[in-house]
């Protein structure tokens, strides 16, 4: 029987850091520790993100990292956006996801698909003071994203939209939504169209805010569209090509979720390893017991592997190398690592870890969403398998 030779993957970009990247990362880390960390518990308990922090995100340039300087952005690379998401998530996953959605989904969609006029209208605001949200999911269309029921009908110079969106991150804070609807239900996915929806458009409203297990300070809301009028020139890309925008943007967004989960795991590990050197039992610190040492070592090893996957896939994206499989692997693995590491961190704290008086239980709660949003773990496995085996 003839043997099948699998093609070798392309050479991967190095994950070394430039001096500018190190400075950028360290500045975000310091900001997260000094400005975000003191507010984490209060924001989590209230389920509301501090508005002043969002203002500081804009002041620091964190909300327009890849936006060109001509529009007021940082003109940096995708890799820097990923570093920001990781460092913020190390302290608070809600902070990380706000910056993540802004950069890897909304800004990326505008940079890739917007017309010159749309860029001129929206990119300066996205860099200066306007939060963005990405509105694809509905009650009946989660993993089957293109089964959405929100309809858009062209009437004169406007599209009239009717329907509801669900699970929309950043909905309370956002002024601009990349929102998907179908202009032709009979056409299936080929009827899906992306719209640039402003919060003030008539017929548009933000509905119920979900009371969630984790990332509680990050708003997750329903959107309601009742004869909502959107100017025809606010179509993003082309009518009927929204499915392409959704797929390609989410491929990039999955790297961001990988970074968020790597940050969550790091944050939990840092607390657990420090506690292991402080807590005493049987006359010595628990970190002196081999069982705990092995747990700390295993956690650190998995975190390092997760971070390298994130960095490598981000470098591939910046280098123009195909990265869809690697993005799916990154999100899958990083979400698994985050759940394992945060759970072990609770166990290292023992009974204290199960209380809200100590920080590790929040990391565990925040980790769970990593296996769900922007494509469940099963959807990542399906994508990986298709690309490895060449199935359609």
Q: Which residues are catalytic?
A: 374
**Other C-beta atoms lying within 10 Å of the C-beta of residue 285:** 15
For the record, the structure tokens of 4 come out as 């099948």
Where does the chain have alpha helices with state H?
A: 19-31, 40-46, 51-59, 78-91, 93-100, 108-113, 116-128, 242-276, 290-319, 324-349, 360-367, 377-389
Contact present, 179 and 195 (Cβ < 8 Å) = yes
Residue 115, helix vs strand vs coil: coil
Q: Which of 128, 127, 110 is nearest to 119 (CA)?
A: 110
Q: 25 φ, ψ to 5°?
A: -60, -45
Task: Give CA 104 to chain center in angstroms.
Answer: 7
Torsion sign (Cα): 233, 234, 236, 242: negative
Alpha-carbon distance of 307 to 266, in angstroms, equals: 9
How many residues in total does the chain contain? Answer: 392
- 142: Cβ–Cβ under 8 A, 6 or more apart, which residues? 167, 376
Contact present, 337 and 306 (Cβ < 8 Å) = yes
Alpha-carbon distance of 95 to 99, in angstroms, equals: 7
Q: 281 burial class (0-12, 13-18, 19+ CB within 10 angstroms)?
A: exposed
For helices 78-91 and 93-100, angle between their N-to-C axes, nearest 10 degrees: 160
DSSP string, 214-263: S-TTS-EEEEEEEEEEEEGGGEES-TT-HHHHHHHHHHHHHHHHHHHHHH
């Amino acid at each position: 029987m003839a043997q099948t030779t699998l093609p070798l993957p392309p050479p991967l970009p190095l994950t070394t850091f430039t001096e500018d990247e190190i400075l950028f990362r360290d500045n975000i880390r310091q900001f997260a520790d000094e400005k975000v960390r003191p507010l984490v518990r209060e924001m989590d308990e209230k389920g509301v993100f501090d508005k002043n922090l969002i203002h500081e995100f804009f002041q620091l340039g964190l909300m327009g990292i890849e936006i060109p300087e001509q529009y007021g952005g940082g003109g940096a690379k995708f890799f820097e956006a990923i570093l920001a998401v990781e460092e913020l998530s190390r302290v608070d996953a809600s902070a990380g996801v706000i910056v993540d959605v802004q950069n890897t989904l909304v800004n990326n969609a505008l940079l890739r698909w917007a017309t010159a006029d749309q860029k001129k209208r929206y990119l300066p605001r996205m860099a200066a003071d306007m939060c963005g949200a990405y509105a694809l999911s509905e009650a009946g269309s989660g993993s089957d994203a293109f089964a959405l029921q929100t309809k858009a009908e062209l009437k004169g110079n406007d599209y009239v939209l009717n329907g509801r969106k669900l699970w929309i991150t950043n909905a309370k804070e956002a002024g601009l939504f990349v929102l998907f609807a179908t202009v032709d239900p009979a056409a299936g996915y080929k009827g899906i169209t992306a719209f640039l929806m402003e919060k003030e458009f008539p017929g548009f409203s933000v509905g119920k805010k979900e009371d969630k297990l984790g990332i509680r300070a990050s708003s997750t809301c329903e959107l309601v569209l009742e004869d909502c009028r959107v100017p025809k020139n606010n179509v993003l890309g082309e009518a009927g090509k929204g499915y392409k925008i959704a797929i390609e943007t989410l491929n990039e967004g999955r790297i961001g979720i990988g970074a968020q989960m790597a940050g969550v795991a790091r944050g939990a590990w840092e607390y657990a390893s420090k506690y292991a050197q402080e807590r005493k039992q049987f006359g010595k610190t628990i970190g002196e017991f081999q069982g705990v040492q092995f747990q700390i070592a295993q956690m650190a090893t998995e975190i390092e592997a997760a971070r390298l996957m994130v960095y490598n896939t981000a470098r591939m994206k910046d280098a123009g190398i195909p990265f869809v499989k690697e993005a799916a692997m990154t999100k899958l693995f990083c979400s698994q690592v985050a759940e394992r590491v945060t759970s072990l961190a609770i166990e290292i704290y023992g009974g204290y870890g199960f209380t809200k008086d100590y920080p590790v239980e929040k990391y565990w709660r925040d980790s769970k969403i990593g296996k769900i949003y922007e494509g469940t773990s099963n959807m990542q496995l399906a994508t990986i398998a298709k690309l490895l085996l060449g199935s359609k």
